[in-house]
Chains A and B, each alone.
Chain A
Amino acid sequence: MAGLLEISHLCKSFDTIKVIDDFSLEVTEGTLCCLVGPNGAGKTTTMDLITGRIKPTSGKITFAGEDITGADEHAIARAGIGRKFQVPAVLRDLTVRENLSVAYSRQTNPFWNLCRFKVPGLEQKIDEISTLADLTHRLGEKAGILSHGETQWLEISMVLMQEPRLMLMDEPIAGMTEGEIEKTARIFKDLRKSTTLIVVEHDMGFVREIADVVTVMHMGTLLAQGSLQEIEADPRVRSVYLGEQEAA
């Protein structure tokens, strides 16, 4: 079975520094892949490359059999890739409800949207997602006044509203309380039944909880891949990553 997302021999340099160096990855549909690695390993850059925020120097990315290398951000999003940013990015001047409405982007054509005043199914979807994210009582508030944790939830909810086939979550639990982290883990495991996820996370406890596959990046290359047990047993990983964590 071919992967939903296939990255092959991806390279990206900024000026002369190679940030991503011959990185390949295959993500199977319906799995939750955790992308881990020390700070500066290139995880966020990889997400930037997948979502078209930056263009690769060389290499190829295919999604659902389609070549999306170097495509525009919106085209990639429409193809079915949703993303949560490392630094939570929500529309701060808009209300939570408006944030979710915008994210429900089934119709993206400007001319169609000029004549649309009611979006079928939107209210129901907002109800469903906001209940899941515990944001119902905040729907009328401006997103800019939300707490850090709530902002994280809002952005995750926006990705859910998009109903993507592949979700990229860059450090989704940063700034969350223990309880919220548990809940996130529950929701992610639930989501895996219907979608595919790539989650970047430093918290190994959380990774242990949710991951089907763990991919370790180091200096822009793929260091190891496998189940968490395999990864933890890998001596190279221990030296560059887990060792570092224990030392810290």
Chain B
Amino acid sequence: MNAKTSAKSVGTNSKTTMGNPYHNKTAQWIAYTLFFLALAAIPFNVDDDFLLNQLATYGVYGMLALSISLCWGFGGILNLGQGIAFGLGAYGMAMTMQMQTQTAENPVPPIMLNNGLDYLPFLWWPFQNTVSGLIFAVGIPTLFCAVFGRIMFKARVSGAFFAIMTLAMLSAFYTIILDQQAYTGGVNGITPPSPLQLGSFQIDPYSPAAYWTVFFALLIATVIAKLITQSSFGLVTQAIRDDAERVRFLGYSVSSYETTIYTISGLIAAVAGCLWVMVVQYVSPAQLDVGLSISMVIWAAIGGRMSLLWAIIGAFLIQGGQSYLGDAFLSTWLLILGGFFIIVVRFLPNGLASLVEAGLGMLARKPKETSFREPSGVKPVPSE
């Protein structure tokens, strides 16, 4: 697929050099291809297992930023509760991995035994089998998004109201998971003792296999998301972002579109949650913390919420910077991040991507200085 896109683009691109390449669909696909080629080159150049593992977690953050960009950047739905889908996905995966290590003689995980529960609760049943566990891990959060989204959007809850509702819902999940120690491990969460086992294959978090799994998930999610934005659905979604009220009178059921984009975004986040546990072998209520969910929005905002690729890059840059500086400088880093975030919101609504857009625009204009004054093609005819 890569070869095909780039080959095609060489032909079309040379013919249509006018205009900003940032807005050229072919150029966009090339940029995406290059980005993923760069990511694919990493395992061949990194032999530090720990670093590779860390890079895999960035991939997960990238997926989360992607999901936010899709929902907020393209759909205009600010979701401050993406941690719900992420967290539920993560818990589902942790439960599946935990159950993989339980045996017939020892069917009940220690978190239950430690909390005075000597049988496997109903909630855990689907996760006894790996396949059904994975299906439930992704399916439950997705279903939640579909139902919650449907209820909210049908009632025309939108904008800041929806953001607040997602926050409330997130807080609700956070507290219930914290509260139900015997089922969820409470504040300590779940730490599956061994890596994810798929058939006879074990995905060691510190192996390239884990990195590649995340890589392909991110690749597939990005391609699907990009295709969505270029489909008729994507256009209608952007129209809704612009003026939902008007779009209704064109015959589109706005709530269905909003629910769909919100659910797809939740699905991506749920998969990210599963991958996260695969990579770190751990889950706790911190994954449903309000701060994390807002961080996802910050990644997308700083990178550029309107651009899927830049949202991902935003996550890489911010999380990368944070772990590069380490815990000693965490406060300083967050302080700078907060300040930068304010600047982005105030002056750069499209984040770093808008700087790139402006830069490319200038580059594209320069060589065309003469023809710029007289736009090629159709000459505008005065209507009077």
* A/B touching: CB–CB < 8 A: yes
Task: Tell whether A73 is near chain B: CB-to-CB under 8 Å.
Answer: yes
Selected A-B contacts with CB under 8 Å, 22 pairs? A72-B248, A73-B249, A74-B248, A74-B254, A77-B248, A91-B243, A93-B241, A94-B242, A102-B247, A108-B252, A108-B253, A113-B232, A114-B228, A114-B231, A114-B260, A115-B231, A116-B231, A137-B378, A138-B380, A177-B384, A179-B384, A180-B383
With both beta carbons as reference points, the residue of chain B lying nearest to A77 in the complex is identified as B251
Question: Is there an interface contact between B246 and A89, defined as CB atoms closer than 8 Å?
Answer: yes
Task: Tell whether B239 is near chain A: CB-to-CB under 8 Å.
Answer: yes
Task: Tell whether A92 is near chain B: CB-to-CB under 8 Å.
Answer: yes
B interface vs A, CB < 8 Å?
Answer: 227-228, 230-233, 235-236, 238-239, 241-243, 245-254, 256-257, 260, 378-381, 383-384
Question: Is there an interface contact between A102 and B233, defined as CB atoms closer than 8 Å?
Answer: no
Contacts of B239 in A (CB 8 A): 91, 94, 98-99, 102
Task: Tell whether A105 is near chain B: CB-to-CB under 8 Å.
Answer: yes
**Contact A113/B233 with A78-B251, A179-B384 known, Cβ cut-off 8 Å:** yes
**Contact A103/B236 with A91-B243, A117-B231 known, Cβ cut-off 8 Å:** no
With both beta carbons as reference points, the residue of chain A lying nearest to B378 in the complex is identified as A137
Contact pick for B249, options A77, A98, A113, A177, CB 8 Å: A77
Question: Is there an interface contact between B231 and A83, defined as CB atoms closer than 8 Å?
Answer: no
Task: Tell whether A51 is near chain B: CB-to-CB under 8 Å.
Answer: yes
Question: Is there an interface contact between A51 and B236, defined as CB atoms closer than 8 Å?
Answer: no
Task: Tell whether A90 is near chain B: CB-to-CB under 8 Å.
Answer: yes
Question: Is there an interface contact between B251 and A74, defined as CB atoms closer than 8 Å?
Answer: yes
How far, in angstroms, from A93 to B381 measured CA to CA in the complex? 23
How far, in angstroms, from A171 to B378 measured CA to CA in the complex? 32
- Most A Cβ at <10 Å: residue of B233, B249, B378, B380: B249
Task: Tell whether A14 is near chain B: CB-to-CB under 8 Å.
Answer: no
With both beta carbons as reference points, the residue of chain B lying nearest to A104 in the complex is identified as B250
Contact pick for A90, options B232, B246, B380, CB 8 Å: B246
How far, in angstroms, from A179 to B254 measured CA to CA in the complex? 37
With both beta carbons as reference points, the residue of chain A lying nearest to B256 in the complex is identified as A110
**Contact A111/B253 with A102-B235, A102-B236 known, Cβ cut-off 8 Å:** no
Write the nearest CB–CB distance from A66 to chain B, whole angstroms: 15
Tally of A-B Cβ pairs under 8 angstroms? 97
Instruction: Provide the main secondary structure of the chain B interface.
Output: helix
Contact pick for B250, options A94, A110, A113, A162, CB 8 Å: A162
Question: Is there an interface contact between B233 and A116, defined as CB atoms closer than 8 Å?
Answer: yes
Task: Tell whether A101 is near chain B: CB-to-CB under 8 Å.
Answer: yes
Contacts of A158 in B (CB 8 A): 250
With both beta carbons as reference points, the residue of chain A lying nearest to B251 in the complex is identified as A77
Contacts of B246 in A (CB 8 A): 85, 89-91
- Most A Cβ at <10 Å: residue of B231, B232, B254: B232
Contact pick for B257, options A99, A110, A136, A138, CB 8 Å: A110
Contacts of B252 in A (CB 8 A): 74, 105, 108
How far, in angstroms, from A116 to B252 measured CA to CA in the complex? 15
Contacts of A105 in B (CB 8 A): 250-252
Which 6 A-B pairs give the minimum distances between C-beta atoms? A77-B251, A113-B233, A73-B248, A113-B232, A116-B232, A91-B242
Question: Is there an interface contact between A92 and B242, defined as CB atoms closer than 8 Å?
Answer: yes
Write the nearest CB–CB distance from B244 to chain A, whole angstroms: 10
How far, in angstroms, from A90 to B241 measured CA to CA in the complex? 12
Contacts of A113 in B (CB 8 A): 231-233, 236
Question: Is there an interface contact between A72 and B250, defined as CB atoms closer than 8 Å?
Answer: no
**Contact A117/B232 with A92-B242, A110-B260 known, Cβ cut-off 8 Å:** yes
Residues 111-148 of A at the B interface (beta carbon under 8 Å): 111, 113-117, 119, 134, 136-138
Contacts of B380 in A (CB 8 A): 137-138
How far, in angstroms, from A136 to B381 measured CA to CA in the complex? 9
With both beta carbons as reference points, the residue of chain B lying nearest to A51 in the complex is identified as B249
Contact pick for A92, options B243, B251, B257, B260, CB 8 Å: B243
Write the nearest CB–CB distance from A102 to chain B, whole angstroms: 4
With both beta carbons as reference points, the residue of chain A lying nearest to B259 in the complex is identified as A110
Question: Is there an interface contact between B260 and A111, defined as CB atoms closer than 8 Å?
Answer: yes
Write the nearest CB–CB distance from A74 to chain B, whole angstroms: 5
Contact pick for A93, options B242, B245, B247, B260, CB 8 Å: B242
Task: Tell whether A107 is near chain B: CB-to-CB under 8 Å.
Answer: yes
How far, in angstroms, from A80 to B117 measured CA to CA in the complex? 61
Write the nearest CB–CB distance from A161 to chain B, whole angstroms: 9
Contacts of A77 in B (CB 8 A): 248-251
